[in-house]
Amino acid sequence: MWQSLAGSALALVLLGIFAPVNGQGTSPSPQGGKPPDPELRGQWLRVGQTFACKVEAGKRITPPDPDVLSFACQRMGALGVGISEASLKAALGEPHRKLPPADNATNYVYFLGKPDQLPYLAATVKANRVVALQVSGSAPVAAYSFNQVNLGDSTEKLMARFGGPFHVGPSGLEKTELWTYEPWPFSFEVRQDRVTSIRISDPTVEAK
């Protein structure tokens, strides 16, 4: 569940721990379609076999809306899980490629360098809202780091930020492992001890 620790009115710091419910990776309640607060930025912290989302609320008199608090740590640069499709297109324009819908969701692909080549960003959109973001490539892309981890970073740095993965398995790509931390909504692909893909998602939505 999400908990809060009140600090001063001018520098409220919220600490939330997202824990599985009945063994499933779900947050306390549906987000109700509320967009993330762009001023809320957080960082995941490993706490034993769980993770805490530490959020700097800034100069606020009242606490942030709890319905959007869980999005604060699910950010990839200026983008974040939960933003509207319109906000995504306002930031990046029309996608370079649009994959056919599956499970009521559509994947928009943006090539961040040369057309049809790595690196690229894939955004999964469902009901006009971004429910997952994935960036893939072998070299760092400054604008799309997640929790201070970027493409091309070493597994040593990844483990310093997130600790060891809860499960390691094949990713489907040659010589590439998939590091997962389920039920927490982030995962990484690793090849030759380097991060080659980062994926974050909305735990309240089954996005495939």
Q: Max CA-CA distance within the chain?
A: 52
C-alpha of 108 from chain center: 16
User: What is the CATH architecture assignment of 81-201?
Assistant: 3-Layer(aba) Sandwich (3.40)
Secondary structure class of 128 (helix, strand, coil): coil
Amino acid 8 reads S
**Angle, alpha carbons 154-71-94 (nearest 5°):** 80
- The pLDDT assigned to 126 comes to 95
- The pLDDT assigned to 63 comes to 64
Tell me phi and psi for residue 44, to 5 degrees: -75, 135
DSSP characters over 44-105 = EEEETTEEEEEEE--S-SSPPPHHHHTTTT-EETTEETT-BHHHHHHHH-S-SEEPPPBTTE
Per-residue pLDDT 10s for the chain (208 aa) are 222 222 222 223 344 444 333 333 333 333 456 778 777 888 999 999 999 988 876 666 566 676 677 788 999 988 999 999 999 999 999 999 999 888 889 999 999 999 999 999 999 999 999 999 999 999 999 899 999 999 999 999 999 999 999 999 999 999 999 999 999 999 999 999 999 999 999 977 744 4
C-alpha torsion angle, residues 194, 75, 205, 177 (rounded to 10):
0
Domain limits, the chain: 13-76, 81-201
